[in-house]
Structure 1
């Protein structure tokens, strides 16, 4: 009675093992690819021929997909990589190096002078001091200014008297006491007196609006920094004499001295790359004056920065200006040219992606480079981020070699 369960258990375990073997073999057969399925004995030769034919086609496909110098990319991948597509353009420019200095703009400098002669009573500023527009720089006492003020006061009084006389004569005319001709004469005298009074007041304002005692303030016409003071307390300032000089350090520009021939090649808006004491920055030409050089008659080129901060006034700088007409033929963005295996190439857009085309690069002007050979001008090429295609090409060649 005890041996029966043992026999049944033994047969049960054997049955389970058989099922596992059969099931495993079935799963293995389902997961194997057709190439892994062993051929039937009668079909062995035929299967070997098909395998060799498949391998030949696969190698040919690999050869076509890995064509040398080709990077296969979809439009979506190009957009995702921020690779710009640009056209090859004709013409270009050359570069000319210039030397210059940072100088205050014309309206950023003021030599503050007095319009009347007088004695300097007080000096209110010192070199290096910041001032605002209209702030007094010095106080003068002037006899000429006192005379101007007295004349203005007298002219104003005369104009007032003439106006009152005209109004009185007009009232008497209405009463029939004064003739019409007398009224017209009074009116003319009133108008003349008003004109004389306005002229006197204008002279007083030009002199600095002195008080009745001839005391007046010499004020700065601009905001800036006092660079020099030409007078001292107790001194005498002649008419037109400079009291102080004021410069606005925030309003400066770059002034280049250029050869006279450059005046015809540079125009307002031309790009300039400037090298200063603190590094490089971009600028744009604001004016070109031929023959404006004080002694040599050289062309003067003025420029203002478009990025960065200008060095202080008086700093020496050098610049590279792009001139038109110096480079002909085809040009491309300089960052479109990449070096692959020691040769210069550009990546031309194709239906499948890009193809590396060898080119012969010439001179560089600004951010563009001349192409001497290799392109027809009708191509569309990779511009910004073209280096990503170079990296992708190198990676593809490395995988192909492996």
Structure 2
């Protein structure tokens, strides 16, 4: 009996311990979800519909090139051409006086400001010209003093009028000789009394050629250096005889760059070509960044404008969800903008509605933006 009692008591104790352990485990299990870290995906940032975030540098790397909105709608002419320095954007510096090169201040490839030192010469001719100025200044002072003295004597009745007038004429002559001597010195680079003259850049730009060498001798008129302002460029285009008369100064044109993109320009001059037979050379000033000097380009010129307004390249127009869109460039990316299209001709599409004409949009590679926008929309739906 006693053994049975102890057995029952032990069983009760074991049951109580098991229940307590189960309760404790249950409490821990209930708390576990609250304490466990959340390993789920974070909420996606809000998606801006119709916008592709892509900077200008990344867009260029991806093959997306921007183009300006064109105007026209009439017949077009494609002109071959090249990028060249604009008028007055280059200069050749010659030696104004013969002399020995004492110092060369710049080398080919260096950038100089207008008036910057290029080379220093020492010239015997320059020293002689400066001496002539000094002599002319002394003669002019003496002649002015003589004329002033004769005037006082004439007013006092000591000398005749013709004597005063003769001395005044001599003073005027001496002054003219002084002006001529000063002009000669200025033309020779304004040498010092020792004949040292500093030759200076007539324009700002890059030194493209340097012919002066220290210790070398330059003759008057000899080439010292060539300078070009490579920031000032223009398009030089060749127009055929049949259409030269239809091209006018002030017309806007679209230039096809070597990389496949487009740039805007305005015609500034139309002149007969050296080839004759009615052909013309057309010069146009870029309205935006231009390719490097020497690049081969082509330009679309609208000859007869129709009633259509704005035009864009055909590749700029994409179909998105059944509607025609173009991707307008913004500071941080491209925005899909719905447009109403009109006629299509010569690789261009007429835009009847949706643009105001001042936009810059994606041309070549616009389909990549469409694909990227499709990825963004799909991710947003998930």
**Does the TM-score normalized on the shorter chain lie above 0.5?**
yes
**1:186-225 to 2 correspondences below 5 Å:** 186-225=167-206
1:78 paired residue number: none
The answer to whether the 8 Å contact 1:226/1:245 transfers is yes
Distance 1:334 1:123 in 2: 54
Distance in structure 2 (CA, Å) of the matches to 1:366 and 1:159:
74
Q: Post-superposition shift, 1:277?
A: 3.4
Give the deviation of 1:285 after TM superposition. Answer: 3.0
User: Paired residue for 1:235, among 207, 216, 237?
Assistant: 216
1:334 Cα deviation from its structure 2 partner: 4.8
| 2:328 corresponds to | none
State the distance in 2 between where 1:210 and 1:338 align: 68
Q: Which residue in 2 is equivalent to 1:311?
A: 291
Q: Distance in 1 between matches of 2:162 and 2:301?
A: 74
Q: Does 1:321 align with 2:301?
A: yes
- CA 1:100 to 1:338, structure 2 compared with 1: closer, same or farther past 3 Å? closer
- Structure 1 stretches of 4+ moved >3 Å: 292-298, 330-335, 359-369, 381-385
Aligned to 2:51: none
Q: In 1, Cα distance between the equivalents of 2:121 and 2:301?
A: 49
The structure with the greater share of residues assigned to helix is: 1
Q: Does the CA-based 8 Å contact 1:290-1:300 persist in structure 2? A: yes
Report the secondary structure of 2:154's partner residue: helix
Kindly report the root-mean-square deviation, in angstroms, between the aligned alpha carbons of the 2 structures: 3.4
> Structure 1 residues 332, 275: CA separation in 2 closer, same or farther (over 3 Å shift)?
closer
Shift of 1:192: 1.2
Q: State the partner residue of 2:127.
A: 146
Hey, what's the Cα distance between the residues in 1 that align with 2:342 and 2:264?
30
Q: Does residue 111 of structure 1 match 2:85?
A: no
Q: Could you tell me how far apart the structure 2 residues matched to 1:117 and 1:273 are?
A: 49
| Cα shift readout 1:59-91 (whole Å, capped 9, x = no counterpart) | xxxxxxxxxxxxxxxxxxxxxxxxxxxxxxxx9
Of the three residues 226, 234, 237, the one matched with 1:245 is: 226
- SS of 2:243's partner is helix
Q: Gaps spanning 5+ residues in structure 1: where? A: 1-90, 345-358, 370-380, 386-402
Match among 99, 106, 111 for residue 125 of structure 1: 106
Output the CA distance in 1 between the equivalents of 2:347 and 2:134: 67
Per the normalisation by structure 1, the TM-score is: 0.59
* Ranges in structure 2 where 5+ consecutive residues have no aligned partner: 1-71, 325-340, 357-382
Shift of 1:281: 3.6
Determine the C-alpha separation between the residues in 2 that align with 1:366 and 1:160. Answer: 76
